[in-house]
């Protein structure tokens, strides 16, 4: 068991929920994770993550989505840790051409108008051009399809963040 996981397992429930919240901005998810303790290792942590995530209501998904900054921006409503991870996850966007940055900004606006939430993609390891192509493809989705695609992207982001969280 990692030191971070051992410490987290020993916290009172409210502190444990607050401690894991930067990994996924949905409070119900964080409290659900805290309720599953003790968690013995990374595999068990990721399994619990998926089980809790699948049990959430749409409003909880939306709360998690809201904790992210727009693609290409660095401000978010989540914690300092979450904001730092977002900057790291979107690192490739800094090297994007001005044309790609403008297209992403326009795509973000179109996405928000169409779906009434920000565009979320697991950006780690993707170039700015890849992200733009994904955004354009997902703009063609129906509302329900896109909600589930966004939820899957959030789940992937949460997995990456949990692995970082374990290593601190």
Catalytically active residues, by annotation: 68
Return all residues near 146 (Cβ < 8 A) that are at least 6 apart.
Answer: 115, 138
Residue pointed to by tokens 């970082």: 164
- Cα dist. 3→9, 35, 36, 64, 161 in Å? 10, 19, 18, 26, 16
Whether 157 and 89 have beta carbons less than 8 Å apart is answered as: yes
């Amino acid at each position: 068991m990692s030191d971070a996981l051992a410490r987290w397992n020993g916290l009172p429930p409210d502190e444990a929920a607050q401690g894991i919240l930067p990994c996924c901005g949905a409070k119900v998810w964080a409290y659900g994770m805290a309720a599953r303790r003790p968690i013995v290792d990374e595999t068990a942590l990721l399994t619990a993550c998926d089980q809790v995530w699948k049990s959430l209501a749409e409003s909880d998904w939306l709360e998690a989505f809201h904790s992210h900054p727009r693609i290409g921006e660095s401000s978010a409503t989540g914690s300092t840790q979450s904001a730092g991870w977002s900057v790291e996850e979107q690192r490739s966007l800094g090297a994007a051409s001005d044309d790609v940055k403008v297209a992403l900004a326009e795509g973000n606006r179109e996405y928000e108008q169409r779906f009434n939430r920000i565009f979320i993609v697991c950006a780690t390891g993707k170039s700015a051009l890849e992200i733009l192509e994904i955004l354009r493809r997902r703009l063609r989705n129906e509302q329900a399809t896109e909600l589930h695609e966004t939820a899957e992207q959030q789940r992937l982001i949460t997995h990456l963040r949990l692995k970082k969280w374990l290593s601190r």
